[in-house]
Amino acid sequence: MTEWLYGRHPVLEALRAGRPINKILLAEGASPRLMAPLLAAAREQGVPVQQVPRRKLDELVPAAVHQGVAAAVAARAYAEVADLLVRARERGEMPFLIVLDGIEDPHNLGAILRTADAVGAHGVIIPKRRSAQLTPAAVKASAGAAEHVPVARVANIARTLEELKAGGLWVVGTDAQADQDYRTADYAVPLALVVGSEGRGMSRLVRETCDVLVRLPMVGRITSLNAAVAAALLMYEVFRARHPIE
């Protein structure tokens, strides 16, 4: 199945990652300077580029900020959970997985993928239902990180966490009512970090499966953070624990 990937950075990163692309549509009048890296990568990969009226792109990806470029690509393939663990092993690193329990906003998913790439996480796990998927909107929000961070889909998050625990990973979940401050947890272990949905947080079964629950302290009047922001804070706390300043 073919889908349209849009935006300069997502299309450029797809080219750099070697993702199969059938063709690229470029809006007439697009800035040659801004498009130069993308055009060079397309030539190197042998991907045809066609100039079209901007309204053609508006019709292909309505209500999207396409930045004058769209690419016809095969629908994104998902990884297996085992692939994420193999990735950690090949790097000689302790596993660091991000598990999303019902994140529904594709922009939040994209932002989480962007941070996951920045901190060197080995992959992201999402449920197959009632969750944002790797749509073009999520890929666009990831600013190209979706091409470098594998995403696995599973039927049951709680069961997957149990399997990861059996394989030696610790599961840390976020809960506003938790007693433990997120800054005091031990992250220098094989780890699955669980982030709940934007409104409900983690489901009861997932919460009960966690080895440790942590909270983000808040002293203002707002009672919760955006899910992608909370995930970023926690991911960088893991990064800090594993990469101390020398």
C-alpha neighbours within 13 Å on the C-beta side of residue 216: 19
> Which pLDDT belongs to residue 77?
78
Cα separation, 230 vs 174, in Å, equals: 9
Name residues of the chain where pLDDT drops below 50. none
Domain ranges of the chain: 2-74, 81-242
CATH of 81-242, one of 3.40.640.10, 3.40.1280.10, 2.40.50.140, 3.40.50.300: 3.40.1280.10
> Can you say whether the dihedral through the CA atoms of 215, 193, 74, 37 is positive or negative?
positive
* Three-class SS state of 46: coil
Task: State the pTM of this model.
Answer: 0.80
- Length reported for the chain: 246
* Three-class SS state of 212: strand
> Which pLDDT belongs to residue 1?
62
The continuous run of DSSP H or E covering 1 comes out as none
> Which pLDDT belongs to residue 4?
85
% of the chain exceeding 90 in pLDDT:
58
Q: Are 213 and 207 in contact (CB under 8 A)?
A: yes
Whether CATH 3.30.1330.30 fits 2-74: yes
> Which pLDDT belongs to residue 73?
83
At CA 105, angle to CA 104 and CA 106, rounded to 5? 110
